[in-house]
């Protein structure tokens, strides 16, 4: 069965520090992968997506993610975190040719000044 | 502006009452979804609909019902059979880009049972 694991429930970083949020997936074929961000009490906003091609994808707000098939990972990175990046981040996988996304349990990011 | 509108933003319900959450989209998307979000559990799929007049149960459909009479609308009813309805509910719609689904979300409805 397809699944997504986000091993870190809560991460705290200082403003200006680099960030990496981990995401591992379990899927038998080529996955389609997404990262979403959610501010408190809000809906989810798409940060970036990977369908095929270049394994390093760029998203909005200065985020990027790298697809590594050998590690079944799709980690999200940002070189310098801003206080406004504090939010919850969800990784999701979209199995081929279905309309259903499978979400991880989320990582809550806290940013200290 | 195109988007997904959920209403109300906050909803209070007495135990034993049914309540309906509204979700409207003007993105011309075929598929629509309802997710429930609880702390530490991510998003769990309640129901989804790929076309008008058709919908399927998700992972946690018990105690919920939906209808899809129009492409733009996908209301969710939380019935009295739902034992623990207090949660944040998110509606989404999606479009396929090739064979892949990209989902767009509403701002959510927070339901509290009092």
Chain B residue closest to A104 (CA)?
B42
What is the rounded distance in angstroms from the CA atom of residue A78 to the CA atom of residue A5? 20
What pLDDT sits at residue A74?
96
Percent above pLDDT 90 for chain B: 75
Asked whether the predicted pLDDT for residue B75 surpasses 80, the reply is: yes
At A98, is the pLDDT very low, low, confident or very high (cuts 50, 70, 90)? low
Asked whether the predicted pLDDT for residue B1 surpasses 70, the reply is: no
At A5, is the pLDDT very low, low, confident or very high (cuts 50, 70, 90)? very high
Instruction: Pull the structure tokens for residue B12.
Output: 């209070």
B102 vs A contacts (CB less than 8 Å): 34, 46, 49, 94
The alpha-carbon gap from A29 to the nearest alpha carbon of chain B, in Å, equals 13
Asked whether A112 and A86 are in contact (CB, 8 A), the reply is no
What is the rounded distance in angstroms from the CA atom of residue B111 to the CA atom of residue B114? 10
Strand partners, A112: A14
Residue A70 makes CB contacts below 8 A (sequence gap 6+) with none
Percent above pLDDT 70 for chain A: 96
Which of A43, A96, A104 best probes binding to B when mutated, by most B CB atoms within 10 angstroms? Answer: A43
Asked whether B80 and B16 are in contact (CB, 8 A), the reply is yes
Rounded to an integer, the average pLDDT of B83-94 is: 94
């Amino acid at each position: 069965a397809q699944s997504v694991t986000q091993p870190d429930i809560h991460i705290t970083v200082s403003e200006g520090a680099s960030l990496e949020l981990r995401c591992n997936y379990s899927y038998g074929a080529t996955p389609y992968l997404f990262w979403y961000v959610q501010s408190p009490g809000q809906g989810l906003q798409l940060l970036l997506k990977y369908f095929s091609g270049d394994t390093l994808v760029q998203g909005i707000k200065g985020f990027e993610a790298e697809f590594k098939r050998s590690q079944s990972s799709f980690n999200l990175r940002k070189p310098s975190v801003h206080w406004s990046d504090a939010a919850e981040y969800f990784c999701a996988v979209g199995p081929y040719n279905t309309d259903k996304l499978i979400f991880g349990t989320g990582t809550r990011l806290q940013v200290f000044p | 502006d195109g988007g997904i509108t959920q209403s109300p933003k906050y909803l209070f319900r007495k135990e034993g009452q049914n309540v309906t959450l509204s979700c409207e989209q003007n993105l011309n998307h075929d598929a629509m979804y309802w997710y429930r979000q609880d702390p530490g559990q991510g998003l769990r799929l309640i129901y989804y609909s790929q076309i008008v007049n058709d919908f399927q149960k998700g992972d946690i459909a018990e105690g919920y019902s939906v209808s899809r009479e129009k492409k733009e609308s996908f209301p969710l009813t939380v019935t009295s059979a739902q034992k623990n309805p207090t949660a944040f509910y998110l509606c989404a719609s999606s479009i396929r880009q090739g064979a892949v689904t990209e989902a767009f979300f509403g701002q959510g409805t927070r339901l509290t049972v009092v």
